[in-house]
Every structure is written in C-alpha cells, then in structure tokens.
Amino acid sequence: MKKLLIASTSTVHGSNYLAYILPTLKKHFKGVHEIIFIPYARPGGISYDGYTKKAKEAFEKIGISIRGIHEFDSAKNAISNAKGIFTGGGNTFELVNQLYKNDLITVLKEVLTNGIPYLGTSAGSNICGVTMMNTNDMPIVYPPSFDTLGVIPFNINAHYLDPDPDSTHMGETREMRIKEYHIFNETPVLGLREGSWLEVLGNTITLRGSLTARCFQPNKEAIELTPDSEVVFH
C-alpha cells in the first residue's frame, strides 16, 4: 500500500527547513531508523554532500538518520533496500535527468507502490505525478523524458501562487500557464500552495494543511479543494 507525503515546499516563511511538517514526518516514518535521501535536484547548485547535511540536521530532530543516495556504490540497490525515502526540492529538470541517468525511475516507482514510506518536497513532489510538465523550474538540462513516477494520477504544480491584485507584473499567472498546458494535454493538475501537502495511503489521496488547493482539468473551471478532503478528479 502506497504511503506518501507529497509537500509543496520544504520550508514555510519564517520557519526552519522541514520544521512545519516534522510532527507529521515522525508519524509517517514511524519505525524507520534510516532514510535514503535523493539530493539530485540541487537547489541553488548546492553539492550533494551539502544538501544531504541539511536534510540530516532536520531529521535528527525526530531521531532518524539520513544517507545520501550518492554515498552508495549502487543507487539502484540503495533504493531497492531502502526503509524510507526522501527526495528534496530544487530543479525538477536536473532531478529527473539524474533519475533516468541512474536508471532509478522503475525501481523507485516499484518500491513506492509496494509501500516504502516516501517524502517529496517541491521537485521531489513533482516527480510523483504522471509527468514533470507542470514544474515552475528553468530547463537547465534536458532529461530523456518528461514522464515521471505516476504514483498519483495527476500532476503537481508546487508553490502554487494566486494572482496578486496589487502587482504590476503583466506576465502570465500560474493559472494561465496551467490552462495553456491543458490546450495540449489531458492530465489533471493540482496547484499546491505553500505549507500544504498530500497524504497518500493506498489509493486514497487527501489534502493536508490549512490551505485549499486548486484543481485544474481540461475544458472545466478550476475549483478549490478544502483541507482534509479527498483528491478526486471527475
């Protein structure tokens, strides 16, 4: 049975890394003593070691140790034998590029489908969808495919932003960009606001946190999903 936490962000305003979700993580990873961390997204160009250190410091607060996947001789074996997995945020293009380069897409999907507890934040959440095509990131590298894990039946737009009526910015809103996507694609999209996450238990997907999420489907008006509601696209 799938056991996933799919979070829009790792850090909410005014808080430390993962602090807002640590109580939830303690329950989610109950009984897990070591988690494999996937640092491939490299936010701001940080090194794998530097990023792993950041994750390690956060998880130490709930008594769980972290090992970066790059520390293993075989990344595939590390995923196959993992008791828990965390994929951090950063650039989704580079994350997906490295997952393909290290031949991890299939094995990662397999272990998550079989119930290994998983946390994704930002880019690490984007990869849970059908494709990575609703990322906000710059295409700094060209992955072999935009197809991702598909452990949920829709795409994620992390860090979803509502239009600011006082802004002088004249470019596209996030909603406009998702509507452009739906001219050419059928996959539903869920806009996750900062501080919100999805709890996936088996085939049940529930919105958690205090904010609504915005649901987009082709040829339909976007709707707001209330906290603690099941995510179902009709």
Give the residue numbers marked as catalytic: 122, 137, 159
Can you read off the two tokens belonging to residue 57? Answer: 């410091």
Q: What is the DSSP string of 45-80?
A: G--HHHHHHHHHHHHGGGT-EEEEGGGSS-HHHHHH
Can you read off the two tokens belonging to residue 91? Answer: 């650039």
Residue 202 Ramachandran class (φ > 0 left, ψ -120 to 50 alpha, else beta): left
192 and 198 in contact (C-beta within 8 Å)?
yes
The CA distance from 192 to 7, in Å, is 8
Encode 84-123: b = buried (16+ Cβ within 10 Å), e = exposed: bbbbbbbbbbbbbbbbeebebbebbbebbeeebbbbbbbb
Contacts of 59 (CB under 8 A, 6+ apart): 18, 25, 35, 65, 66, 86
